[in-house]
Structures are given as structure tokens and as C-alpha cells.
Amino acid sequence: MPDTSDILSLESLKVHFPIQGGLFDRVLGRSAGAVRAADGVDLNIGRGEIVALVGESGSGKTTVGRVITKLAQPTGGRLLFEGRDMTSAKGFSALRPYRRRVQMIFQDAYQALNPRHTVFDSVAEPLRSLRLVKNHAQLTERVSEALSAAGLNPPGDFFARFPHELSGGQRQRVVIAGALAVKPELIVADEPVSMLDVSIRAQILQVLVDLRAKHNMALLFITHDLPLAWLIADRIAVLYLGRLVEIGSADDITFNPRHPYTVALRNATPQIRSDASRFELPALQGEVPSAARVPKGCRFHPRCPLAFDRCKEEEPPAIEVGPQHMSACWLPTSGAKAELSTPNLKSADHGSV
Amino acid sequence: MSESIVRYSSRSRARAIKSFLSNLLGHAGAQLGLLCLVFFLVLSAVPNILVGPLETVATATGDFLVPPSSQHLLGTDEVGRDVLNLVVHGARISLTIALLATVISLVVGTTVGIIAGYYGGRVDVWLMRLTDFFFVMPSFVLALVITPVVLEVMGRGREILGFRPSLFVILVVIGITSWAFVARIVRSQTLSLKERTFIDRARVVGSSNLSIMVRHILPNLVPQIAANGALVVAGAIYVETSLSFLGLGDPLQPSWGTLLSLAQRAGAASTGAWWYLGAPGLCALAVSLSFVLVGNALDDTFNPRQRVIP
Ligand SMILES: Nc1ncnc2c1ncn2[C@@H]1O[C@H](COP(=O)(O)OP(=O)(O)OP(=O)(O)O)[C@@H](O)[C@H]1O
Ligand code: SF4
Ligand SMILES: [Mg+2]
């Protein structure tokens, strides 16, 4: 049932990057397969809602963010903005209204700013290209306003600076100022604080949280850090190999995770391990499998300590395990709960973090 | 507030330019090259003040093929013209042709290179085929093909933009044959620039492709264009000299290459008139060498900066 209050929804979104095969493959007309960076993602973001997208490196977080900001084209599924299909919208003039409402913040602010543009030019760029101002006075006013809101005060002092004349935190604030200068309704933030000093992180997060409070701006916060996601988000979506394995309220995902992968993620984070956890798991074994070779059945089964026969054959659908809480695992329905108490699992616990 | 913007930006620009210049002048090669270039630029700026108007057969002042003396510092040619006078006037022709040809080559090469690199795909394939075609095209053959056409269309006596038709042909030929080199360098640099995050950001904030190419990619290409532009000038002087030497120049607007050609035909080498061959030859050599030195120094100066500002 489509929720009319959703600002954005992804419907079984797929991004497959074809793998360039060797000459041999091409001569034989054989496909070398594809990297399934996103492989059927369903996600809704409500107005003014902060959703965290959590997952290991290579799980496809950035790819999902790039689809939402129209930097990558999905190979399947749909991207709906306020119920309107934006999947195949192309060209900068057709996308202009969308760009006014959906903006992005990047992981590496140093890379995200043109080294030859001043702070003023960088922040003014969206206002100019999206034609949001009529004259220079208005432009200066909006740029100052945005820089202040991003915590760069007094704004005039920063106008003529170049990126290399700023600290890392200030650079990220400039990127944020550029994004919020257009007063968007959704911001995709791709690991916005992972490259910053711990001391600066809290301030940057505060800026983002304030935006929601003041302007009811929705935020998709991409991170690999579960405690950080819990801190900032209303809901958390856990991504594994291009597919959401669990989604629910920040508290549920953090303290009452249902999917074995989420449990393992949480267990890898000493701060939030608690006795109240539903079940204990050994720490994850092995590497994240490559998105070029997604396992058959449940994509987590080669690493899942609870895997059983069915997991190897059938991919589990997202199953409602609580209010607003979905988990893509066979366990809650297949009566496999009994396995949770099997002694071999308990004894394996000493292997965890 | 706008006052403070101006103050800040002019100050930080001035600082950047100052540090750039001090880095550049730290190279001994750059000092030598720039000194030499300034000397020749002065020569070509005011030839009439320095040596009087260009001498012709009618206004020749000396005897035939006189070796250097106090009256004719670089001797005279086979009709009695002062070689110093000819060489100084030749500087103007040679440098103007080389610089204008470089402008053509940089404009065409940069445009083609950015478009090919930025759009990629089929656009890239076709533009690069075109580039390869011009890359291997010999300038002499092209000049031989174009000259009669231009002479036919324009008429022998007319001037195009102040150039006699054959010089205009040389100018165009050098422009046409040297842009491919620039296009290749610009394309490869564009390929790496367009993967940078600030291009993604420019797209997200709604910039058009044109604005991304002009406002984001082009300014970041300036170092490469400047450094290679200097090399293109050096190449242009070389090509201009050889084309003129082969007889495609114009005796009424003699460049250094034309002088070499005249000297050759007058038998300067066999009669021992070394001044007649040596003066224009050394000038051409010195100027192209200076541009190479400056180009290499520019390259060196920009490169560490690229490391600092990735
Ligand atoms: N343009 C591309 N071409 C081919 N494969 C790609 C491309 N972009 C991403 N991938 C692959 O898609 C998968 C997901 O990448 P993505 O960058 O979305 O992961 P991520 O979750 O953001 O990881 P990280 O935490 O390291 O940023 C990876 O296996 C990556 O190699
Ligand atoms: S479906 Fe099976 S393999 Fe997948 S997470 Fe659940 S128990 Fe593990
Ligand atoms: Mg990423």
C-alpha cells in the first residue's frame, strides 16, 4: 500500500554493472555476468524522516544514493518521488525541478569541491544553475544564509577562500551549505562524517539534525557505523550485497535485531552489545562475497551460522516481524527458532568480539 | 561585504601568482628561456625603430654578400640587403605565425579533447579517429595541397588578415596539423577529471554539461594547456621554418625560414657566407629552444601543485 506521506520510494531497485568480458567471451557472445551493486532494494523515506542506510563496504550503499540523486541509472525497478516516477528522467533541464528538491552530501568534501572555485562560487553554483535567484544581491544573501546555517560564521570571511585554505570540517560545511542553499526536501548524505575528526563529527551531525527540525528536511544517512545510525536516524535499513536484509525503527534494529546479519553487525560493535539481545552469534566469518557472484538462495547463507537447507535454495522475502519491522530471513517463520538454542551455537559464542 | 570579497580574492590571487612565479623562476631553464623570449618579443614589437623599415632590393644599402662589419653587423645578402635588418623583421613574421597557429591549435585541440573525453562513447571514438587522422597528416603535403587552392581563391596579391596568402596558408596548416597533439593530452586529462567527485556534485546541483566543461574541467586543464602550448609554439616555429625553407614562404614578408631558403638558393653555404645562413638559423633555434625550456619549467611548476591540490 503506497504511503502518500512518503517523499521518496524505491521499488525493487536494481543496478547491475556489466562486467567487461575478455575477447574470448565476446567472440562467443557470452556474457561475463554483472556486478549486482543493488539487487532489489525496497525503501521508503517519509517527509522529514531520517533513515540510515547501513552496510559493510561494497554492500551497495553509495550506489543506492547515486540512483536517488540521479548520478546512476538503475537497470531495474523504479524510483518514485512523491509518487511520480523519476526512473527514466534524463537531461539536466528535465531534472532541474528534481534537483531543487533532492541534494547530496559527499564523503570526501575535499574531492567534492572544485579546487579552483572559491567557497562563494561553490555555494552559489546550485542557486545559479537552478535559477533560484534573480540578482547578485539575492545570491549573496542566500549564500550567506546557507553558510551560516552550515555553521560557517561570519559567512563573509569564507567567501573568497579556496578549498585548500579550509579545514576538513569547514570543507564539509561548505558542501552542506551548497546542498541546503536550494532548500531541498531530501538530502542524501553519503558517509558525511567518516573522514572527519571525532571532535568535529558531532557538530556536523548537529547541523544535519537541525535541518530536519527547522525545515522538516528528510535525510538518507549512509554509514557503515551502526551506533552512529542509531544516534541520528528514526529508522535503519540494513543492506547486504545489494539487498535490504532488515529494516525497522532505530531502536528495534539496534537493540532487537532479527536478522542474523544485523545481529552480527551489532555484535561487532562493543558499545551496544547487551545481554538483552535476542540471540548471540559468533562474529562474522570470511569476507563480504563479491557483488559479482551473489550466492544462490539467501545471499547471506555462506556466512550465516544459522543457515539451514532452505536458505541455500530459496531467497527469503521481507517478512514482517514486528510493527514497521521487516526482516528477510527464513528463521522467524520456518520454525527454525529451535535452532537458536542448539548448544553448538552457544558454545561458538566465545569466538565473537 | 562585497568590498571584503574583492579584497580577499585579490589578495589570495596575488599570493598564488607570486608563489607560482617564484617557483617558475627557480628553474634556471625558465630564466634563460624567458630572457631570450623577451629579447625576441622586443625585436618583433618594434623592428622599424631598431633597424628601420624592411630593406628591399631597391632600398638595399650594401655590397653583395659582405661579411659582418661595423656598418653591417651581420653582413649583407646577395642583393646587398642588411642581414640584421632582415632577421629582425623576420622575427616579427616568424613569431606572429607561430603564436597565431598555436592559438588555433589550442582552441581546436582543447575543444575537441574536452568534448571527446567528457561525453565518451561514440562521440569519443569518432573525434579520436578524426584526431588520429590529423595527427599523422604531414604538414608539408597539406601545405602543398592547400596553397594553390588559397592562391586561386584569394588571388596572389591580396592580403588575408595582414598576411600574404602563402603565409596565411602556413599559419592554417600549422594550426591544422598541431591541434591533434593538444586534443590527445586534453582528452586524457579530461577522462581523469570527469571521474572526480566535484563533477558529480556539479551534476547534483544542476549544472549543465556545457557549464561543467567550461567552469569545472577547463580551469583544471590550464596547467597542461599552458605547458603544452609552449611546446606547440616551439613546434610551430620549427614547421614554419621548414615550410618556408622549402619555398612556401613569401619573399615580400620574409620569415626566418624564408631567409634560410634565400640563403640556400644564393649558395651561401658553398660561398662561405656563414652569416647569411647562421643568423636566421640560430634565431629560429634559440626561440624554439626557449619555448621548450619554458614549457618544461611550467610543467615542473604545475606538477607538484597538482599533488598538493588533487
Ligand atoms: N561504476 C561501477 N562499475 C562497476 N562496479 C561498480 C561500480 N560502482 C560500484 N560498483 C560495485 O558495486 C558494489 C557496491 O559498491 P558501492 O560503492 O555502492 O558500495 P558501498 O556500500 O558504498 O561501499 P563503501 O562502504 O566502500 O563506500 C561494489 O562491489 C563495487 O565494486
Ligand atoms: S535465511 Fe537462512 S541463511 Fe539467510 S539469514 Fe536467515 S538463517 Fe541465515
Ligand atoms: Mg560508499
Share above pLDDT 70 across residues of chain A, in percent, rounded to a whole number: 84
Give residue A31's pLDDT band: very low, low, confident or very high (50, 70, 90): low
Of the listed ligands, the closest to the CA of A259 is: 2
Going by their DSSP bridges, the two strands A325-327 and A6-18 should be labelled as: unpaired
Predicted local confidence at residue B300, as pLDDT: 80
Asked if residue A264 has its Cβ within 6 Å of ligand 2, the reply is no
List A35's β-bridge partners, or say none.
A17
Do the chains contact at A103 and B197, CB–CB below 8 Å?
Answer: no
Instruction: Tell me the C-alpha distance between B173 and B132, whole Å.
Output: 16
Predicted local confidence at residue A352, as pLDDT: 37
Q: How far is A107 from chain B (nearest CA, A)?
A: 10
Asked if residue A300 has its Cβ within 6 Å of ligand 2, the reply is yes
List A51's β-bridge partners, or say none.
A220, A235
Block residue for cell numbers 570571511: A157
pTM: 0.83
Q: What is the pLDDT of residues A178-228, one digit of tens each?
A: 999 999 999 999 999 988 888 889 999 999 999 889 999 999 999 999 999
Give Cα A24 distance to the centre of its chain. 38
For residues B199 and B218, is the Cβ–Cβ distance under 8 A? no
Which residues are within 8 A (CB) of A65 and not within 5 positions of it... i.e. 6 or more apart? A53, A104, A188, A190, A220, A222
Do the chains contact at B208 and A129, CB–CB below 8 Å?
Answer: yes
Predicted local confidence at residue A281, as pLDDT: 62
Question: Residue A97 to residues A134, A272, B62, B208, B303: CA-CA distances in angstroms?
Answer: 17, 42, 78, 14, 40
Q: For B9, name the nearest residue in chain A, comparing CA atoms only.
A: A160
Burial class (CB within 10 angstroms; exposed 0-12, middle 13-18, buried 19+) of A4: exposed
For residues A152 and A177, is the Cβ–Cβ distance under 8 A? yes
Q: For residue A224, how many other CB atoms are within 10 A of its CB?
A: 17
Q: Is the pLDDT of residue A36 over 60?
A: yes
What are the strands of the beta sheet with A76-81, ordered from one edge? A34-46, A6-18, A76-81, A84-85
Predicted local confidence at residue B191, as pLDDT: 95
- Taking contacts as CB-CB distances below 8 angstroms, the residues of chain B near A178 are 201, 205
Residue of A69, A71, A125 with shortest CB distance to B207:
A125
Residue of B2, B5, B205 with shortest CB distance to A129:
B205
Q: How far is B198 from chain A (nearest CA, A)?
A: 4
- Taking contacts as CB-CB distances below 8 angstroms, the residues of chain A near B204 are 69-71, 99, 103-104
The more confident residue out of A331 and A122 is A122
SS3 label, residue A20: coil
What are the strands of the beta sheet with A50-54, ordered from one edge? A102-105, A186-190, A218-223, A50-54, A235-240, A243-249, A325-327, A319-322
Instruction: Tell me the C-alpha distance between A152 and A167, whole Å.
Output: 12
List A326's β-bridge partners, or say none.
A247, A320
Give residue A335's pLDDT band: very low, low, confident or very high (50, 70, 90): very low
- Taking contacts as CB-CB distances below 8 angstroms, the residues of chain A near B219 are 114, 116
Asked if residue A311 has its Cβ within 6 Å of ligand 2, the reply is yes
pLDDT, one tens digit for every residue, chain B (310 residues):
444 454 555 666 787 788 888 888 888 888 999 999 999 999 988 888 888 888 888 887 788 888 888 888 888 888 888 889 999 999 999 999 999 999 999 999 999 999 999 999 999 999 999 999 999 988 888 888 887 787 788 777 777 777 788 888 888 889 998 999 999 999 999 999 999 999 999 999 999 999 999 999 999 998 889 888 888 998 899 888 888 888 888 888 889 999 998 888 888 888 888 888 999 999 999 999 999 999 888 888 776 544 444 3
Burial class (CB within 10 angstroms; exposed 0-12, middle 13-18, buried 19+) of B160: middle
Of the listed ligands, the closest to the CA of A15 is: 1
Q: For residue A17, how many other CB atoms are within 10 A of its CB?
A: 15
Block residue for cell numbers 538454542: A341
